[in-house]
Amino acid sequence: MNTEFKKKFLTERDRTGRFIVKSLKTGRIYYVEPIDNNNRVDWGDLDPVTKKMTGSYGTKYKGSIKPEESMITKENGFDKIHTLEPGESPLSYIERLENN
């Protein structure tokens, strides 16, 4: 990946949750982006009378992107794309790839 792509990939990391891991073992570089498929937990205050959520805590920086915002595509030069299950650690997955 060129430096311009890397710079764009890491822009607004608080909002997108994107990060890059470089393996000290193999030297491989892994690009990671959390995908939000609308399976998020809403944060706020639960009104005890109405049982409705009020407030909007945690909505400014979700740390994830929508699937259509993904930069990890074949068109951008990625040939091995892995999709993890919800809750699966990308760092643990990378470690397993490195050990195989």
Structure tokens at 47: 């009104």
pTM equals 0.76
Residue with tokens 């930069």: 71
Calculate the average pLDDT of the chain: 87
Length of the chain: 100
Question: Could you count the other beta carbons within 10 Å of the beta carbon of residue 21?
Answer: 15
Where along the chain do its domains lie? 3-99
Q: What is the pLDDT of residues 28-83, one digit of tens each?
A: 999 999 998 776 666 677 788 888 877 766 556 778 888 999 999 999 999 999 99
CA 53 to chain centre: 26
Name every residue whose Cβ is closer than 8 Å to that of residue 49 and which is 6 or more positions away in sequence. Answer: none
